[in-house]
Amino acid sequence: MSFRTRPDHPVLLPSSPAWSADARLVGEVLATVGSAAACTSDDTRYLQPTLTWQIAAETVGDCATTDHDPDHVRALSLPGHALDAVWACHAALLQAAGTTPDSDEEAGPLAGLLAHYLKDVHHIEVTDLVGAVERILAVLSLDLPAARTLITHLALNPEAGPEARSAYANVRAAWRRAGVVC
C-alpha cells in the first residue's frame, strides 16, 4: 500500500441494521485475513502487508453501531491512512475475486482463504464481500458539501433546523445512490 497524503476528513455513518451488518462482516473478514497474514513471514502472500489488513479491519469494524434509529447518524474523523488501507484491501479482494486484469496466481492464497472461509462461515461468495466493501467505501469516501454542513451544524447546534434537515436528506440520497440501505 502506498500512503498518499490524503488528509483526515469527517465522515457521517448511517445507523441502519443493514449498514451495521455490512460493517461487521467486512471488519471480521479483513481481521481474519490480517490474522492469516500475520502467521506468515511473507508480506505479499495475501497481496497486502499485515498492518494494512489490520488497519482496514479496525477502521471498518468501528463503523458498526447498535443504534438503528433511521434518523440518527454518527460522525467520525477518518484518518487518511485508514481510508487508504480500506481501498488497498478492496483492490486485493478484487484481485482475489478474479475481477481485475491482474488477477493471477499471485492472488491464489488470498482467493483460497476467502473461498473457504466465506463459504463455510458466512455462506457467501467473494463477490458478495466485495459488494459489501464497496458500500462501506461509498460511505467512507463520501465528501459532499452537505455532509460537511450537517457535521458543522450538529457540532455547533444539536437542534435540527431546516438547513440540517436538508443536508441530511442530501447525504441519505447519496448513500442510497451508492446502494447503502439507510
Alpha helices in the chain (DSSP H): 17-38, 50-61, 80-97, 108-117, 126-141, 145-156, 162-177
Angle formed at CA 127 by CA 124 and CA 130, multiple of 5 degrees: 105
> 179 in helix, strand or coil?
coil
pLDDT at 135: 96
**For residue 100, pLDDT beyond 90:** no
Assess contact for 57 and 64: CB atoms under 8 A. no
pTM summary value:
0.87
pLDDT at 69: 80
Q: How many residues are listed for the chain in this entry?
A: 182
pLDDT at 104: 67
Taking residues 114-130, what's their average pLDDT? 93
pLDDT at 93: 96
**For residue 154, pLDDT beyond 90:** no
Taking residues 134-138, what's their average pLDDT? 96
% of residues, the chain, pLDDT over 90? 53
Distance CA 110, CA 23 (A): 20
